[in-house]
Amino acid sequence: KDIEFIQSSYFNKKEDTRFSSSVGKFVGFTEQGVKYAANWNKDASYLSAMRAWKEVYCLNHVQSDYNNIL
């Protein structure tokens, strides 16, 4: 329940864009990043695929990662 999937893009050591599963869309942090985020947020299939990554990656790996840490 408390798992969040985050994917960030960086350019010149600055965070350009970020997708967060809790927000459910891309957010831009630079002028160019805002443009990228706006375009990606218009694509419903891409947003749907990104939202699915929480289920695909996080929930399938959390138990094994947790066991490895302990």
Instruction: Give me the CATH number covering residue 25.
Output: 3.10.320.10
Total structural domains within the chain: 1
Structural domain range at position 58: 6-68
Q: Where are the beta strands (DSSP E) in 4-69?
A: 6-11, 14-20, 25-28
In a domain, 41, yes or no: yes
Q: What proportion of the chain, given as a percentage, has pLDDT over 90?
A: 61
In a domain, 1, yes or no: no
Question: What is the distance between the alpha carbons of residues 59 and 61, in angstroms, rounded to a whole number?
Answer: 6
In a domain, 21, yes or no: yes
Cβ-proximal residues to 16 (8 Å cutoff; 6+ apart), any chain: 8, 9, 10, 28, 29, 30, 32, 33, 36
In a domain, 13, yes or no: yes
Half-sphere exposure of 22 (CA within 13 A, CB side): 5
Q: Is the pLDDT of residue 33 over 70?
A: yes
Determine the pLDDT at residue 56: 82
